[in-house]
Amino acid sequence: MKKRILTLLGLFVSPFIFSQILTVDSGSSVSIASGSSVTLGGLEIAPDDTYVISGDNTISRASTPISSGSNSSVSRVYSSTALLSGFTGTLTFSFLEGELNGIAEGDLVLELQADDDSWTSYNGTVNETIRLATPLVKRYLLKP
């Protein structure tokens, strides 16, 4: 059976450059406190503990789906230019019906690509009424 993926390509690393939604300059950082969140172009990041995104780093969103083997993504792909490691918490991303590329909402999963190009799949909860997918990322540590 063909596996369907909703790809959060390289929230943890990606070599691609897309529409920038957050740029952190070298020597700067953005801190997201525990109990709070930040939303970047439809991607909400809510860490369990205070999480710091350090520069030089850019988080981007593209509308071009990607493929890996027989798997395909929706038309909402997030990436970062530098590895974001050590995150635990909740990632919530919104999507529009037209971005699904024929993938049933109930078949969506979150795929994260690490710096070694390996992929890890996370199941989550899809709110089909407001089209929010909320996978829970717990105790997953990506090492740079």
Domain edges within the chain? 6-137
- Classify residue 107 as left (phi > 0), alpha (psi -120 to 50) or beta: alpha
Mean pLDDT to the nearest integer, 23-51: 92
pLDDT score for 135: 55
Q: How confident is the model at residue 6 (pLDDT cuts 50, 70, 90)?
A: very low
Distances (CA, A) of 30 to 52, 74, 79, 106: 6, 28, 17, 34
pLDDT band at 104 (very low <50, low <70, confident <90, very high): confident
Element (H, E) at 113: strand 110-113
Cα 97 from Cα 104, distance rounded (Å): 10
Higher-confidence residue of 95 and 38: namely: 38
Give the model's pLDDT for residue 128.
Answer: 65
Q: How far apart are the C-alpha atoms of 126 and 42, rounded to whole Å?
A: 15
Q: What is the mean pLDDT of residues 47-58?
A: 93
Asked whether the whole model's pTM tops 0.85, one would answer no
What average pLDDT does the segment 45-55 reach?
Answer: 92
Q: Is 131 left (phi over 0), alpha (psi -120 to 50) or beta?
A: left
What pLDDT was estimated at residue 16? 39
Q: Over 90: is that where the pLDDT of 125 sits?
A: no
